[in-house]
């Protein structure tokens, strides 16, 4: 990526209108609207490593303030981007055209925990770990558990429909949100969904907003469905000679009734990174499954036996239970650190999170191996394989034009392979800017038109996270 100085950023940014700033200050006071260079720069990028142009940054503390801010920007046709902690990998919070960034950092209250009804209400800016801590005090948990839990917010998790290992058994936010409050693109506050685990009144706007990346509404608070924290968890490590043997074991495990609550995959290159962190693995291991089975004390041994038998099979070098919590924690930590650790192999990476039906995982893994050989670049895969969701990382040296070009050429081939196998381009990271121009490979023109129509209804002036998610044929961007 070319070096970008603070001056470059400020020179490019459209000036933030003085009258608009004055109106916003009436809502926020002087201290919670920042137009200084330092704040604008700090909020103009995300974990995609892209950088944009923020005109100003607002720090509302209440839903009413969010609504007032959006009403002002709607009237002025001024773009806004809602931002949690900017940990998304797809450029979903990179502001453009001097947009106003609305940070939810100061909307960070757990509003209520209703243990008897197993739900929790929280504001959008609470971190995922904050939610887990509040639920855990009542012996409960919320299943979405991205590796970025400590530095991602509820709003960001819902904006991307972000998930983690526990989705294999308990699902993503779409299966674990009962209802929410949001502010639409006109500044109207809407409350959708329920506090109950059943409800079918009207269209399901809750799930429409989940995964919509801040393009339809700004979620201000949500009602989360909680589950009992298990009595016991057993961690298993299954090593295989190669990725195909591990992929075949996944299909066997997932076809059994005793579903693990974690089923993670690592290929040979990922294992080398794990070894680099001091985890000792058999030398012959070319792939690994990290499996966790949870349940009540009395029933656990039988479930672990069944899962272990399914994991064993051709190419399996052994299925071992972690001797203690230290050993289990070491494996979990190594898995979580894989994404940043990839930078040790190559500075450049295209990080995808494709999904295929579980029975097609062996075919996808074989296709990725042949694409890596064809392109002569490393393709490292790991991830939530129980959902058929693999983080496929195309690695390249940014200073090597051949590797850069090969990675760019291989990317649409990876997507095509995934679609040919009945899969989808993203399981949890979302579309943002980086995948926006590929989604027409998956969604037919009438479907995209319907989505643009929905955007128009929620956000008639096209101010919410303009230019993200849907391929251009902009919605009223120039109105």
Ligand X SMILES: Cc1cc2nc3c(=O)[nH]c(=O)nc-3n(C[C@H](O)[C@H](O)[C@H](O)COP(=O)(O)OP(=O)(O)OC[C@H]3O[C@@H](n4cnc5c(N)ncnc54)[C@H](O)[C@@H]3O)c2cc1C
Interface with ligand X (CB under 6 A), residue from 52, 95, 98, 159: 159
Q: Which residues inside 335-374 make contact with ligand X, applying CB under 6 A?
A: 339-340
Q: Could you tell me the smallest distance in angstroms from the CB atom of residue 101 to ligand X?
A: 9
In whole angstroms, what is the distance from residue 139 CA to residue 297 CA? 16
Stretch that binds ligand X, among 153-161, 184-192, 255-263, 470-478 (CB under 6 A): 153-161
Contacts of 187 (CB under 8 A, 6+ apart): 67, 68, 69, 70, 71, 72, 74
Interface with ligand X (CB under 6 A), residue from 160, 178, 245, 271: 160
Check residue 426 for interaction with ligand X (CB under 6 A). no
Q: Where are the alpha helices (DSSP H) in 421-464?
A: 445-458
Query: Closest by alpha carbon to 63, among 163, 182, 228?
Result: 182
- 358 with 250: CB under 8 angstroms? yes
In whole angstroms, what is the distance from residue 226 CA to residue 369 CA? 39
Q: Which residues inside 450-469 make contact with ligand X, applying CB under 6 A?
A: 465
Q: Give me the 383-422 binding string for ligand X, x by CB under 6 A, dash otherwise.
A: ----------------------------------------
Stretch that binds ligand X, among 78-86, 226-234, 268-276, 355-363 (CB under 6 A): 78-86
Give the CA distances from residue 154 to residues 109, 132, 144, 280, 451, in Å, rounded to whole numbers and listed in that order. Answer: 11, 11, 10, 35, 24
In the complex with ligand X, the residue whose CB is nearer, 159 or 295, is 159
Give the CA distances from residue 43 to residues 13, 54, 58, in Å, rounded to whole numbers and listed in that order. Answer: 13, 7, 10
Stretch that binds ligand X, among 130-138, 145-153, 196-204, 455-463 (CB under 6 A): 145-153
In the complex with ligand X, the residue whose CB is nearer, 371 or 394, is 394
Q: Could you tell me the smallest distance in angstroms from the CB atom of residue 181 to ligand X?
A: 10
Stretch that binds ligand X, among 52-60, 75-83, 321-329, 405-413 (CB under 6 A): 75-83
Check residue 146 for interaction with ligand X (CB under 6 A). yes
Check residue 87 for interaction with ligand X (CB under 6 A). yes
Give the CA distances from residue 472 to residues 369, 462, 466, in Å, rounded to whole numbers and listed in that order. Answer: 33, 12, 10
In the complex with ligand X, the residue whose CB is nearer, 413 or 452, is 452
Contacts of 162 (CB under 8 A, 6+ apart): 144, 146, 148, 152, 156, 172, 173, 428, 429, 430
Q: Which residues inside 198-227 make contact with ligand X, applying CB under 6 A?
A: 213-214, 218-219
Interface with ligand X (CB under 6 A), residue from 23, 61, 132, 148: 148
Q: If you count DSSP H runs as helices and E runs as strands, how many of each does the chain have, helices first?
A: 17, 18
Check residue 47 for interaction with ligand X (CB under 6 A). yes
Check residue 164 for interaction with ligand X (CB under 6 A). yes
In the complex with ligand X, the residue whose CB is nearer, 104 or 434, is 104
Stretch that binds ligand X, among 152-160, 307-315, 370-378, 441-449 (CB under 6 A): 152-160
CA dihedral 264, 270, 272, 277 (to 10 degrees): -70
- 93 with 103: CB under 8 angstroms? no
Check residue 82 for interaction with ligand X (CB under 6 A). yes
In the complex with ligand X, the residue whose CB is nearer, 147 or 235, is 147
In the complex with ligand X, the residue whose CB is nearer, 23 or 89, is 89
Interface with ligand X (CB under 6 A), residue from 104, 184, 308, 381: 104
In the complex with ligand X, the residue whose CB is nearer, 222 or 322, is 222
Check residue 48 for interaction with ligand X (CB under 6 A). no
- 236 with 319: CB under 8 angstroms? yes
- 218 with 263: CB under 8 angstroms? no
In whole angstroms, what is the distance from residue 240 CA to residue 250 CA? 12
End-to-end CA separation in angstroms for the chain? 33
What SS3 state is found at 94?
A: coil
Rounded to the nearest 5 degrees, what angle is found at the Cα of 186, between the Cα atoms of 66 and 120?
Answer: 45
Q: Could you tell me the smallest distance in angstroms from the CB atom of residue 364 to ligand X?
A: 19
Residues near ligand X, by CB under 6 A: 46-47, 81-89, 92-93, 104, 124, 146-148, 152-153, 155-157, 159-160, 162-164, 213-214, 218-219, 339-340, 428-429, 465
């Amino acid at each position: 990526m070319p070096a970008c100085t603070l001056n470059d950023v400020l020179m490019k940014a459209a000036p933030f209108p003085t009258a608009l700033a004055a109106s916003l200050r009436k809502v926020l006071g002087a201290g919670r609207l920042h137009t200084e260079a330092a704040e604008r720069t700090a909020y103009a990028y995300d974990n995609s490593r892209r950088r944009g142009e923020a005109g100003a940054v607002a720090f509302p503390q209440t839903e009413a303030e969010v609504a007032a801010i959006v009403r002002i920007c709607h009237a002025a046709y001024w773009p806004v981007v809602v931002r949690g902690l900017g940990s998304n990998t797809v450029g979903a919070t990179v502001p453009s055209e001097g947009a106003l960034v609305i940070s939810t950092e100061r909307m960070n209250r757990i509003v209520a925990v209703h243990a008897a009804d197993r739900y929790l209400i929280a504001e959008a800016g609470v971190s995922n770990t904050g939610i887990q801590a509040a639920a855990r005090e009542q012996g409960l948990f919320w299943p979405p558990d991205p590796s970025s839990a400590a530095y991602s917010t509820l709003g960001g998790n819902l904006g991307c429909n972000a998930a983690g290992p526990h989705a294999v058994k308990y699902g993503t936010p779409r299966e674990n949100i009962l209802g929410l409050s949001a502010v639409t693109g006109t500044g109207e506050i809407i409350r959708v969904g329920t506090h109950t685990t059943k409800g079918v009144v009207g269209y399901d706007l809750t799930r429409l907003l989940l995964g919509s990346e801040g393009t339809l509404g700004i979620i201000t608070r949500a009602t989360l469905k909680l589950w009992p924290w298990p009595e016991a968890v057993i961690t298993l490590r299954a090593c295989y000679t190669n990725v195909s043997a591990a992929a075949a074991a996944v299909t066997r495990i997932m076809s059994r009734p005793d579903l693990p609550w974690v089923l993670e995959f690592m290929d040979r290159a990922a294992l080398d990174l794990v070894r680099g962190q001091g985890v000792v693995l058999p030398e012959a291991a070319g792939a690994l499954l990290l499996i966790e089975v949870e349940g009540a004390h009395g029933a656990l041994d039988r479930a672990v036996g069944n899962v272990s038998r399914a994991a064993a099979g051709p190419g399996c070098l052994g299925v071992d239970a972690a001797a203690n919590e230290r050993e289990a924690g070491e494996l979990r930590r190594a898995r979580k650190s894989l994404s940043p650790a990839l930078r040790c192999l190559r500075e450049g990476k295209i990080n995808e999170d494709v999904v295929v039906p579980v029975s097609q995982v062996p075919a996808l893994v074989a296709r990725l191996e042949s694409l890596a050989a064809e392109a002569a670049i490393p393709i490292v895969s790991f991830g939530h394989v129980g959902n058929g969701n693999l983080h496929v990382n195309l690695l390249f040296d940014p200073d090597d034009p051949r590797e850069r070009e090969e990675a760019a050429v291989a990317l649409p081939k990876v997507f095509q392979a995934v679609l040919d196998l009945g899969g989808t381009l993203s399981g949890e990271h979302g579309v943002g800017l980086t995948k926006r121009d590929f989604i027409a490979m998956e969604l037919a023109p009438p479907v995209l038109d319907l989505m643009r129509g929905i955007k128009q209804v929620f956000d008639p002036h096209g101010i919410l996270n303009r230019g993200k998610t849907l391929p251009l044929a902009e919605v009223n961007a120039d109105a």
